[in-house]
Structure 1
Amino acid sequence: MTTDTTTDLTMDVTTPAPRPRGRRTTTAPAAPALPAELEALLRRMRLPYLRAAAPEVIATAKAQRWDPAEVLRVLLTEEVIGRDAATRRMRRKSANFPAGKTFATWRPDESSIPAATQQALSTLEWIGRAENLAIAGPSGTGKSHFVEALAHTAIDNDLRVAWFTLETLTTAVGRAKADGSVARTVARICRADLIVVDDIGMLPAGQDAAEAFYRVVDAAYERRSVAVTSNIHPSGFDTIMPKTLATATVDRLLHHAHLITTKGDSHRLAQALAGKGVQPLTT
């Protein structure tokens, strides 16, 4: 689900605002650069965010006569904030999200998922308990958007996320088979706090796909959270993959799972029919 946004482009940003006559504008002087020796020490200690903030912080501390402990606290806080932000960016990139959809574009009132359920899941407490999430329903009813929004929220809360489709998961495990590293690959996947397998059932799943799915669900069982989306109910997974593997997988998946069924017409189709799926053509 997406919202349409418009931007006012009528302002010419290249034209500066007129200045009042008779007044001279002043700019704050740049903070003095760090001494070369201190700059080198900070680089050696790999404190890039502290180093970037230090000139301005030190200048402010001198002008306002800060306590030395306060200077140290502010500088270390800058480093921690910078590192945390960098970690989140790295985790977001390595998660391989499909579309970058978050709760910023989620329309809770248009979802068939009960509001109380949406709120409870967005607290992420279920991930802390290593519980699973299974959302089944027709295409276009917001399953993937909601789970991706939850996954982004998880990263914002310093959790790790791994995102797959059944096809990409099969490829990852199949590649590991070639060099005998299946166990290591599955263990690496299960380092994530939340493992998502999206759009199960869109294509038939053979033996390799069923085996890859089973391996991950089995390894994550009662240790990590697995979230799946599908256009069919998990009880029907044996119609798209070998029955024995499907039964064993679903047994572990649903034992500690929140099972949600979406309904309604496709939001994507509704937007397309309303002419909101594309930008209007201009001549």
Structure 2
Amino acid sequence: MREEISKYQRKLKLSNNLMEIYPAIKADSQEEFLLKLLKELHEDREEKRRIRNLNSAGFQVVKSLEGYDFSQIRFPESLQLHNVESLSFLQKKENLILYGAVGTGKTHLSVALGVKAINQGKKAVFYRVHDLINQLESEDMKKVAKVHKKINQADLLILDEWGYLPLHQEGARLLFDIISSCYETKSVIITTNIEFGRWKGFLFDEKLTAAIVDRLVHHSHMLIFTGKSYRMANSLMK
């Protein structure tokens, strides 16, 4: 009988944990048992989906908002702290530009927001800008298509280290294509220590720079990180 159950379990693509889930269910009627079983199967599937999305997001290290210090961040009038923590900007497909000096917590916050989005059932993907461009320039078209599919399916794209290294013309064009594809379809978070006026210095082309800025700024909020480097403040080399 267990073999028969396993056969239909596979055909119906039910959880592999079915045999462990149902014996623990207590119910006063068949309907109640079925309801509880379906609920358990749904929760099991959602948890596996969450873990799968978290593993495929590309985070180097998983971060959390717990204990995060927002005191050194200047928020715009258009966006308050609770809007960031609740991820309400995702529902509106708005962008965040996290601007400030190196080591002030921009990447930590971007990853923590991405993790929270995934925990809420959404998809987030994380790329360092140059890593993304390198992948898009691959001669392996399947690899390139996989990157585009991953970004297209995401609710949130995080681009870290924006402007840290200059791009060549083709790299800038590829970045423009990504930003254009995300425009008004998903939220983008950018971490950068370069002000808008200097973006031309790493985006190679003045027209491309203007086009990228235009698409990003339209639905964006800028958070300015005013603190000193956390890494320097907590360095062992003192």
TM-score (normalizing by structure 1): 0.75
Distance 1:130 1:67 in 2: 45
Q: Partner of 1:137 in structure 2?
A: 100
Larger Rg: 1
Alignment of 1:184-203 (within 5 A): 185-186=147-148, 188-203=150-165
TM-fit CA distance, 1:49:
3.2
Alignment match of 1:54 (pick from 13, 17, 22)? 22
Q: Does structure 2 conserve the Cα–Cα contact (< 8 Å) formed by 1:136 and 1:234?
A: no
Q: Partner of 1:237 in structure 2?
A: 199
TM-fit CA distance, 1:70:
0.9
Alignment of 1:145-164 (within 5 A): 145-164=108-127
Distance 1:226 1:53 in 2: 39
Alignment of 1:1-283 (within 5 A): 35-47=2-14, 48-57=16-25, 60-61=26-27, 66-109=28-71, 111-114=72-75, 117-175=80-138, 179=141, 185-186=147-148, 188-242=150-204, 243-272=206-235
TM-fit CA distance, 1:134:
0.7
Q: Partner of 1:19 in structure 2?
A: none
Q: Percent identity?
A: 28
Distance 1:105 1:209 in 2: 37
Range 123-132 or range 186-195, more displaced: 186-195
Distance 1:262 1:138 in 2: 7
Q: Does structure 1 conserve the Cα–Cα contact (< 8 Å) formed by 2:176 and 2:208?
A: yes
Range 187-196 or range 126-135, more displaced: 187-196
Amino acid at match of 2:198: G
Residue 214 of structure 2 aligns to a residue whose secondary structure is helix
Residue 272 of structure 1 aligns to a residue whose secondary structure is coil
Alignment RMSD: 2.5
TM-fit CA distance, 1:104:
2.8
Q: 1:41-81: CA deviations, max 9, x gaps? A: 33443322333211222xx44xxxx1111111111111111
Structure 1 runs not aligned, ≥5 long: 1-33, 276-283
Distance 1:181 1:53 in 2: 38
TM-fit CA distance, 1:260:
1.5
Residue 88 of structure 1 aligns to a residue whose secondary structure is helix
TM-score (normalizing by structure 2): 0.88
Structure 2 runs not aligned, ≥5 long: none
Q: Does structure 2 conserve the Cα–Cα contact (< 8 Å) formed by 1:186 and 1:219?
A: no
